Amino acid sequence: MDPTNLTRTFTALLRKAGLRRIRFHDLRHSTATLLLEQGVELVVIKELLGHAHIDVTATVYAHVRLRLQRQTIDILSTALDGPTSTMSSRTKGDEPPPCAATVR
């Protein structure tokens, strides 16, 4: 399939659906992000995306991993009946969690 025709068809479908214009390649990022947020292991996502090295996958989706770490810490805090943190709507939880040890 010719990439120009794919782009043209995809753009027409987005317009017809009333969605904003994105690149076809952006669907790949959306899929990986959704899978990561659903708890799919990074190594599985790496394989699905066809990345040769997991570092590429981890680097591209690091912002999602940080948000998930923040959510996990908040869940643990609630489970331990401690105070929950309040994330600013500006950061959306993408900042590293405030703790003494680095969470990996």
Torsion of CA 55, 58, 63, 68, to 10 degrees: -150
The confidence score (pLDDT) of residue 70 equals 85
Q: Give how far Cα 74 sits from Cα of 33, 39, 69, 85, 88, Å.
A: 20, 16, 9, 7, 14
- 34 in a domain, yes or no? yes
- 95 in a domain, yes or no? no
- 42 in a domain, yes or no? yes
pLDDT over 80 at 41, yes or no? yes
pTM, rounded to two decimals: 0.59
Spatial contact of 78 and 84, defined as CB atoms under 8 Å apart: yes
- What is the count of structural domains for the chain? 1
pLDDT over 90 at 91, yes or no? no
Q: How confident is the model at residue 13 (pLDDT cuts 50, 70, 90)?
A: very high
- 97 in a domain, yes or no? no
Q: How confident is the model at residue 10 (pLDDT cuts 50, 70, 90)?
A: very high
In a 13 Å sphere around the CA of 16, the CA atoms on its Cβ side amount to 6
- 96 in a domain, yes or no? no
Spatial contact of 70 and 87, defined as CB atoms under 8 Å apart: yes
- Give the chain's mean pLDDT: 82
- 19 in a domain, yes or no? yes
Q: Which range marks the domain in which residue 30 is found?
A: 3-60
Q: How confident is the model at residue 79 (pLDDT cuts 50, 70, 90)?
A: confident
